[in-house]
A and B are shown apart, each in its own frame.
Chain A
Amino acid sequence: MVENRPWLNVLTHLVLVVGVIIIAFPVYLAVIASTHGPGAFLSNVVPLLPGSYMLDNYGQMLSQGMSTSGAPPLTLMLANSLVMAIVIAVAKIAISIISAYAIVYFRFPLRTLAFWIIFITLMLPVEVRIIPTFKVVADLGLLNSYAGLTIPLIASATATFLFRQFFLTVPDELMEAARVDGAGPMKFFRDILLPLSRTNMAALFVILFIYGWMQYLWPLLVTTDPKFYTVVMGIKRMAAVADADPQWNLVMAAVVLAMLPPVLIVIFMQRLFVKGLVETEK
């Protein structure tokens, strides 16, 4: 701060408080709505203060789900989302760290071509090639399976670029010393590069976990069996029904549960999250 201007300080805090309120208000309403009984939504406006049905609503959603929408209990959907997010994050990190290692530490024919093939994935988001990708997954018999939910999403150019960028900053002397001591490529990778990459891997895990958790279109396409529903896509089904048969208390309980894991990760691992976000976009 260059100089002290009291009115500007007041304005600063005012702006931020208003910003936080705007950001938080939709979620506040959702939390409030999830604590009311079904009768609260028949009158003409949503309640603004907590009700007393919180345990009932969450208990019902976790153990039974919403029978009217044909969605399974939330415990199952949360577990599916967790599996999907963790598998995507871990597998993305694993396959991109080894391919970055190959691209940086080896020289071989077609190296540039391999790099470009990986680069192109940046330009082909799922949203623009929905039907042919669905066809491939269907032909491989992967519909309604964890493999179908995760494998098509685990190729990642950004993670590969991040590790490539990082490996290029690792001093060459480390590798030369390892070779003088007789270490082979895999030993060098395991004992030197992997430990050095630990922070990068953690930061990337945070970002990719959130990415996996938020997937919506893909699970919507490849799952028709409620056993494989993820929570983010399941909510949409419940909300569509709730419009006709107002069970907003239950839908909002599901919304809160679906938001909670990734939001907690962002709040409690903020340093890693910011690092991951800024570095993957470089």
Chain B
Amino acid sequence: MQTKRTIFPNRWLPYGLLAPQLAITLVFFIWPALQAVKSSFEREDPFGFKTTFIWFANYSKLLADPMYLNALWRTLIFAVLVTVIAMGVSLILAVAVNRLLRSGRVYTTLLVWPYAVAPVVAGILWWFMFNPSIGILSYVLGQMGVTWNHRVNADQAMILIVLAASWKQISYNFLFFVAGLQSVPASLSEAAAIDGAGPFKRFWTIVVPLLSPTTFFLLIVNINYAMFDTFGVIDATTSGGPAQSTNILVYKVYADGFLGLNIGSSAAQSVLLMLIVIVLTVVQFRFVERRVQY
């Protein structure tokens, strides 16, 4: 690992400098993670008197549980929809802003601020708009002949959380797409224009390929966001319902462990989620290394 050409000769100081960060990491990250792994192999009786080591029983029970498989499936649908919508909309907006010179700055300011809105607040805002009794959007839909009630309709509940989660993520994607578009050399587009390529042809054959590193990076970030940072959206809007239709993995860990007090199952779910995060992080970092050569 890289250091400086010359370094400070000091035996104890570096440990002192690292101590606070390492202490917090060990106490609040590593230790709880190990505890999760440990209790995922155990069964605790309901009164907490006795724990028995049961190997992979929690895992096999989990993977055979239709509720868990349902949560897995719902998470997949949710993550794909949020990623596609949030990235699609923000790419269109970023391309538009990139065409402008001065007024682009104004639009950027008007588009980036939802980054600072907490997921739970985003959930409440959309919940308010879709509120079956007074919401404006459910009213408009009602005029069009669609009865909106996300409290009983599973698909509508999913649409609600997808919209709220995507709305919040657009500003983030937008900023990265704008940065990516600005690094596409203008000379390429100019050369293509001289050769007679129109704006849409130039976009598909020049901009899209050159933007692919940004797109791939955002893909990973958005999947990560949809899987782990949307807890607040779900908790504020549907709480996993109706009939488990929006109970995504990260919400289920909370609901089973903290509300349902099923420690062993919740720990096994935690461990599986950690594996997912590890895979995503590794993919992301391997990709970053390759981007340097790009």
Chain A residues near B (Cβ < 8 Å): 1-3, 5, 8-9, 12-13, 15-16, 19-20, 22-27, 29-30, 33, 41, 43-46, 48, 94-96, 98-99, 101-108, 111-112, 114-115, 117-118, 120-125, 127-137, 151-152, 154-155, 160, 168, 172, 175-176, 179, 184-186, 188, 210, 213-214, 216-217, 220-221, 232-233, 235-236, 239, 246, 248, 251-252, 255, 258-259, 262-263, 265-267, 270, 273-274, 277-278, 281-282
Contacts and interface: CB of A to CB of B under 8 A. Distances in A.
Nearest to B256: A131
Given A130-B254, A216-B119, A263-B116, A239 B109 contact: no
Contacts of B11: 108
A246 B134 contact: yes
Given A105-B8, A259-B117, A266-B113, A132 B39 contact: yes
Contact of A128 (B25, B134, B221, B273): B273
10 contacts: A8-B199, A15-B96, A23-B110, A128-B273, A131-B266, A132-B39, A151-B28, A155-B21, A160-B21, A235-B120
Contacts of A121: 25, 29
A114 to B, nearest CB: 5
B146 interface: no
Contacts of A108: 11, 14-15
B32 A278 contact: no
A274 B15 contact: no
Nearest to B38: A132
B58 to A, nearest CB: 13
B135 A102 contact: no
A9 to B, nearest CB: 8
A73 B268 CA distance: 40
Interface string B15-47: 101101110111111111101100100000000
B93 A15 contact: yes
Contact of B18 (A5, A23, A99, A265): A99
Given A1-B99, A12-B96, A127-B231, A239 B29 contact: no
